[in-house]
Amino acid sequence: MTDLNRVAAALHAKLRGSNIEFTRVATDTRSIQPGDLFVALKGERFDGHVYAQQALDQGAAAVMITAAAECTAQPAIVVADTRLALGQLAAWWRDQMPAQIVGVTGSNGKTTVKEMLAAILRVASSDDAVLATVGNFNNDIGLPLTLLKLRPQHRFGVIEMGMNHAGEIDYLTRLARPDVALVNNAGAAHVGMLGSVEAVARAKGEIFAGLSEHGVAVINADDAHAALWRGLAGNKTVLDFGLTQPAAVQGCYHAANRAMDVRSADLEFTLHLQVAGEHNARNALAATAAALALGVASAAIVHGLAAFRGVAGRMQNKPALHGATLIDDSYNANPDSVRAALAVLAAMPGVKIMVLGDMAELGDDAEALHAEIGTAARSAGVNYLYALGDLSRA
């Protein structure tokens, strides 16, 4: 990957001990591999400095520690704050790599859009040429670790950005400096932390602050906050997408056969989706717009999305007893994602059974929003609703 001298110079940090090369960056001793640089993070309930020597004993090449810590392990990069230094290291490393970076955020569907776009880009290039965020590595620790996985063979990096407070995405996007930045939507997720959906939308729109010089802002024209995001994009090129509002990338979805006609400039093509629901058609249109912003050919978009089978725990159809179909949408939930799931359930034949747990981070509106979902379930024709958790039962 690189050596300690280069890192110390990039971070304006002190090198204690001899210069040595390392091959990877890790923050957890349980996943240490020979040749790693172990970054000793400190939180309210843990202190990685306690494990610095253990990391070296397990084969780590070196450690990154704070000057204030009583830690004698070496070789060591000594910094003022290891969490901030991890981000600075990731930003510096991103600049060394040739990959085009796409940043993806939104209240709903960002992981699905990220995986859809990655599937398209793998068709456009190769499996080894695409790096995408794994799991929930979308915060101030996970995003830097993802950027630090970039290698010279990567043509594209698809980087998911999550948040639960204002300013978080602003920090993340300035590390990633995306060439394309996409906001999928804004909804009630995290409204308990930020106070209103508009505040959530503004926080999501922070992603445009980090756009590279010739970067493209990809915006959902159907979202009520599209005008806000266009303003936050400033003088950057904007490419919008929509199913109902006029947009540069226009989709027309046919739910009966999960097909979507797409028009953009002089391009016209049809997508055939394996995943159900209008919300997934919007996700596919978002991924399509981001791919077009990167200059990807329509054929790669068509083939990539035709092969996409969905994300684990998100609207996954599974066989159940007595010929029933189980829809697994258990990964996470907020009011908008549950309404999207209900729309899919409503269109299905037979007896409809829904199992719902509490939705978190909804603030003072939590009880009312849970009640609204109960009403929506009745309107969707749900025959049996099993509510788990205090808010759901209320």
Q: What is the mean pLDDT of residues 316-324?
A: 82
* Nearest of 220, 217, 196, 197 to residue 207 by alpha carbon: 217
Per residue in 102-152, pLDDT tens? 999 999 999 999 999 999 999 999 999 999 999 889 999 999 999 999 999
Establish if 175 belongs to a structural domain.
Answer: yes
Residue 91 lies in a domain: no
Inside any domain, residue 85:
no
From CA 52, how far away is CA 29, in angstroms rounded?
8
Domain boundary among 282, 306, 330: 306
- Assess whether 265 and 330 both reside in one domain: no
Do 155 and 291 belong to one domain?
yes
Range of the domain at 51: 2-80
Mean pLDDT value across residues 215-232:
99
Q: DSSP assignment, residue 268?
A: E
Looking at the structure, tell me whether residues 203 and 62 fall in a common domain. Answer: no
- Give CA–CA dist 284/255, Å, rounded: 13
Give me 364's structure tokens: 């003072």
Per-residue pLDDT band for 393 (boundaries 50, 70, 90) equals low
Give strand ranges (E) for the chain: 2-3, 14-16, 21-22, 24-26, 36-39, 62-66, 76-79, 100-105, 130-132, 156-160, 180-183, 216-220, 237-242, 249-254, 259-264, 267-272, 316-319, 325-328, 353-356, 384-387
Measured distance CA(300)–CA(130) in Å, rounded: 14
Residue whose tokens read 């258990």: 330
Assess if residue 92 is contained within a domain.
Answer: no
The domain spanning residue 337 has which CATH number?
Answer: 3.90.190.20
Note the helical H segments in 235-379. Answer: 278-293, 298-306, 335-346, 366-379
When pLDDT is averaged across residues 343-370 and rounded to a whole number, the result is 85
Cβ within 8 Å of residue 179, ≥6 positions away? 100, 101, 102, 211, 212, 214, 215, 216, 294
The answer on pLDDT for 315 being more than 80 is no
Domain boundary among the residues 243, 278, 306 is at: 306
Least confident among 86-90, 126-130, 331-335: 331-335
Per-chain mean pLDDT for the chain: 94
Does residue 87 form part of some domain?
no
- Give the pLDDT of residue 234: 97
> Average pLDDT in the 356-372 region?
84
Q: Is 23 part of a structural domain of the chain? A: yes
Q: For the chain, what is the domain count? A: 3
| Least confidently predicted of 160-169, 283-292, 325-334 | 325-334
This prediction has a pTM of: 0.89
Domain boundary among 306, 333, 351: 306
pLDDT recorded at residue 301: 99
Please compute the mean of the pLDDT values over residues 178-189 and round it to a whole number: 93
Same domain assignment for residues 215 and 286: yes
Choice between 347 and 133, residue whose per-residue pLDDT is larger: 133
